[in-house]
Amino acid sequence: MSVKAKTLIIQVSTEQQSITTTHDSMDSPQEHLSEFMEKLSSILTELKDDKRVVMISNPQIQKAIESLEVDFRRAKSLVKSSRISPTHDENIEQVIQTLARGLGLVLFASHDVVESTKKAEIEVLRRELMKMSSVNRTNLIMSSDESEFSSYDRGVVEEDDRTTIDVDGIVEEDDRIALDVDEIVEENDKITLDVDDVVVQIKYGDDELLKYALNGLKSLVLDGMITKEGIHHEDMIPVLFNRLSSSKTDHRLIILRILQALAAQDDEHKEKMAEMGNLSILVKSLGHDLEEQKEAVGLLLSLSDVAAVRRRVGRIQGCIVMLAAIFNGDDQMSSHDAANLLNSLSGNTQYALHMAEAGYFKPLVHYLNQGSDMSKILMATALSRMELTDQNRANLGQDGAVEPLVKMFTSGNLEAKQSSLNALHNLSALKANVQRLIKLGIVATLLQLLFSVTSVLMTLREPASAILAKIAAQSEVGIVLVKQDVAQQMISLLHLTSPVIQCHLLEALNAIAACPNASKVRRKMKETGAVRLLLPFLTESRNTKIRNGALNLIYVLSNDMQGGELMEQLEQMHLNTLINIVSSSSTTDDEKAAAVGILSNFPVSDKNVTDMFIKANLLPILVSILTSSTPTTPHLLAENVSAVLIRFTLPSDKKLQHFSVENGVISVLVKLLTCGSIIAKCRAATSLTQLSQNSLTLRKSRKSRWFSCAPPHSTDTFCQVHDGHCSIKTTFCLVKAGAMPPLVQILQGNERAADEAALSCLATLQQDEIWENGSNLLVKMSCVQPIIKILEEGISLKAQEKSLWILEKIFKVEAYRVEYGEYAQVVLIDLAQNGDSLLKPTVAKLLAQLELLQQQSSYF
């Protein structure tokens, strides 16, 4: 028995009379309706006379009022009718319900127009109608049961005693009927609109009303209160899709959830949603915010059961791209649904290709593994033409694309070999994929193909050489080619192949030669005349990549050449070619760096080479390169130029030094000390050291006899270190050149590779009779602490030797022994105990200077 019904105690002897009396005591539905008609007439008049309602040409309001007027006229005619029929009360009940619904529509439509007092009045009347409708339904139920009670009285009750009859059976049978009128009224107050009202509001309602209507429809659908026929009759699905294309975000979310519920309930709903226009609207939601994306991709996935959806949705512009983006997004549920949807579409090979272009590769890999021969070739060809990022290549490797492509290359026909090799070339730009290729044993097959003379396979040489170049470029795995000892064979092919293959071969050869443990390969290449085979490519003007590749390889090989070995390989014409490359404005900085690097590997002491460089006007060209250099200039170019400048600053040739200084060498060397790489700084310091070694002999003494007859010198030219008049051009003075601050900065920095060169340069200021002036300057420039630190760190033995030499000069001054001796003695004692034996004699001298030798003699 329902909780709304309790055991009904009926006094059988008075039952008929009680029911009849109760029924007769109530006003008839017709009389109740008459009372409401007067109130409703007043409300209709006021609405039609309301200026705001009239001025706002809102079709929703006008339609609602017109509909209410029609219902009003029908009710009015029913009230006037005196005909009593079995269905009369039921007709009145229907009219009351219709009027209540009509008032509700008016309330919705005129929400922002009608005054609040008027809205309250309409709402009160609507509630009264709803309550009256509930009472009438209850009376009708009771009237229909009256005959059953009478029959029971006549056929069963034969005594006048008051008998209690338990009507549990009756209540259970009619458990759907609520007997408590108050409960019925309360329940009906919650129902504001039926399905018709919802459809009207979804079609025509503004944003606020639409939200209420959508929520109402969602409840009806989820509760199963609306039938499939009702959905189709009201064209609910087209209406919802129409609203989906024009509503704001929160409304679209509700619509998508309603559509999902409908799709889950019936396959016919899915068929209706599968129309192209609906799918196009749905795909647009994939480009909105994350929550809407999630709902849209979920709905599309549920619709993908329909073949038409799978056929159509992939053709919608941007659909596959957005699905791939969602798959790669952060939301796991959306990503999972997007992957499943993409997989369901992948039965179409064109869709699979679109997915790959959008970054979703699983269907493409599936076709490479299990597709037909033509499908495999199609996928491989497409893959070879795609512009892939490293992440794309990584994904393809992880998804298993490399293995089927290698299989196609090794066992497929010519077309399969061609397409798979091109695809593998695209994938081989990533180190992880190169390692996969090596593990699969492709190197030997590629080399065999490269050196094959079979005409049919000649077309495959180009992609094969490209892949070998990629394998060689990976230093850790390029050793495979070093072990294969194929460099000489590759060089022999250079003059027998096309320019494209030449580029790939030179790229591979450069990578092989640059391997740290390829010294034997480099030596063998030099011994077999590799340099001479490469020299003709230096004049290549049509393909700069070939020229650059040849230049780099000659440069790498020349780094290992000793003495006049390089001169034996290159003639005067080749030197001129290299210098033309350096001076040309059309060559790249990388080409210039390689060419200058080759020139820097000629023996510094070879005066014939120096004369050729001077005759070719090389020095001004090099100075110009450094003068115009910027932070973006390749380090190698500046490093190689600074290496060549060492030749032009040899201390044994003062005339050459003057020539160099007149061409601006010192200023560019100081620039390198300031902003060059550590290698460039080291080489620049070496050149400045060579120049500074002659500063003392080039100075003009203050006491020279001709000084009084000479024009007076400016006090700015006098040098406290050299105790004479100095300048950059005449004495190559480090102090006047402004080289001291960057040299000290090298000592104070964290990189130790240039310490020896910087210390050697500073030591030139402590020569002979100027040692004390130089020591004073070094102390003034705060050099002592970093020098002791270099001595302590002991990274370079030669740098330690130079540091000890400088400190020995400084500690000749008693004031400096007092100031720095205590700090230095800890390091010196440690060196005496644990340092290199070559340092101990100098360390002993310093300890003696500090008067520690006798006290600490046990250390020696």
- Per-residue HEC secondary structure of 378-430 comes to HHHHHHHHCCCCHHHHHHHHHHCCHHHHHHHHHHCCHHHHHHHHHHHHHHCCC
Cα distances (Å, whole numbers) of residue 564 to 27, 568, 608, 614, 645: 130, 6, 12, 19, 19
The length of the chain in residues reads 860
Measure the CA dihedral 565/570/572/575, to 10°: -100
Q: Can you read off the two tokens belonging to residue 195?
A: 């399905």
- Residues 64 and 719: their CA atoms lie apart, in Å, by 105
In degrees, to the nearest 5, what angle opens at C-alpha 644 toward C-alphas 641 and 645? Answer: 90
Task: Check: CB of residue 170 under 8 Å from CB of residue 149.
Answer: no
Task: Check: CB of residue 404 under 8 Å from CB of residue 368.
Answer: yes
Q: Can you read off the two tokens belonging to residue 516?
A: 């740290």
Query: If we measure between CA atoms, which residue out of 320, 330, 408 comes closest to residue 363?
Result: 320
Q: Which residue, chain included where needed, has tokens 């100027």?
A: 770
Task: Check: CB of residue 344 under 8 Å from CB of residue 310.
Answer: yes
The Cβ-side half-sphere exposure at 229, using a 13 Å CA radius, reads 0
| Spans of the chain below 70 pLDDT | 1-32, 51-60, 80-89, 109-113, 133-195, 475-480, 482-484, 700-716, 853-860
Cβ neighbours, 10 Å, residue 87: 9
pLDDT for position 165: 33
Task: Check: CB of residue 564 under 8 Å from CB of residue 606.
Answer: yes
Q: Can you read off the two tokens belonging to residue 162?
A: 């008051």
Q: Starting at the edge strand that comes first in sequence, how are the strands of the sheet with 724-725 ordered?
A: 700-701, 724-725, 718-719
* Whether the predicted model's global pTM rises above the 0.75 cut: no
Per-residue pLDDT tens over the stretch 646-695:
999 999 999 999 999 999 999 999 999 999 999 999 999 999 999 999 99
Under DSSP, the state recorded for 724 is: E
Burial of 4 (0-12, 13-18, 19+ CB in 10 A): middle
Cα distances (Å, whole numbers) of residue 389 to 33, 327, 427, 463: 77, 17, 10, 20
Query: If we measure between CA atoms, which residue out of 328, 323, 391 comes closest to residue 354?
Result: 323
pLDDT for position 778: 97
pLDDT for position 51: 66
Q: Can you read off the two tokens belonging to residue 31?
A: 């009389």
- Residues 690 and 696: their CA atoms lie apart, in Å, by 12
Q: What is the rounded end-to-end Cα distance, in angstroms, of the chain?
A: 113
Element (H, E) at 701: strand 700-701
- Residues 577 and 565: their CA atoms lie apart, in Å, by 19
pLDDT for position 540: 87
Query: If we measure between CA atoms, which residue out of 255, 268, 359 comes closest to residue 305?
Result: 268
